[in-house]
Amino acid sequence: MSLKGISEVGILDNYFERMNIEDKTEIVFEELKKNFASQVSKVMKDKNISKKKLAEMLGVSPSYITKLLGGDNISLKVMARVIAVLGVQFTMELHEKFYNNILPSVDIRDMVSDEVNSVK
């Protein structure tokens, strides 16, 4: 099958719509963790705060900070604590089709392959 005329967004829309709620939830959860870790890393860089210093500020080990910045599971309470010690505000926006922003981080080649195979 030729993929001419099929847009990436169309494939993403179709792919996401067919996913079950558990898979959708996992994608959203991973994106939230990644987004939070990325923003914390940026603030740390902007404020010249090392992992060791942030660990001291939070009363945790530097290895915990490494896990946090690596996207390990994080509770809202821990997020709030990190935000408080950094003296910043974290905001999230909800959009009608949030997956258009999330799924491009997924390898489109895998999705296209799945989509093509489902048509055969």
> Is 115 a member of any domain?
no
DSSP states along 64-119: HHHHHHTT----HHHHHHHHHHHT--------TTTHHHHGGGS-HHHHHHHHHHHH
User: How many domains is the chain partitioned into structurally?
Assistant: 1
> Is 3 a member of any domain?
no
Is residue 71 within 8 Å of residue 33, measured between CB atoms? yes
pLDDT digits (tens, 9 = 90+) for 51-63: 999 999 999 999 9
> Is 119 a member of any domain?
no
> Is 68 a member of any domain?
yes
> Is 105 a member of any domain?
yes
Instruction: Find the CATH number of the domain harbouring 25.
Output: 1.10.260.40
Q: How far apart are CA 93 and CA 108, in angstroms?
A: 24
Range of the domain at 95: 8-110
pLDDT digits (tens, 9 = 90+) for 32-91: 888 899 999 999 999 999 999 999 999 999 999 999 999 888 888 999 999 999 999 988
With a threshold of 0.85, does the pTM exceed it?
Answer: no
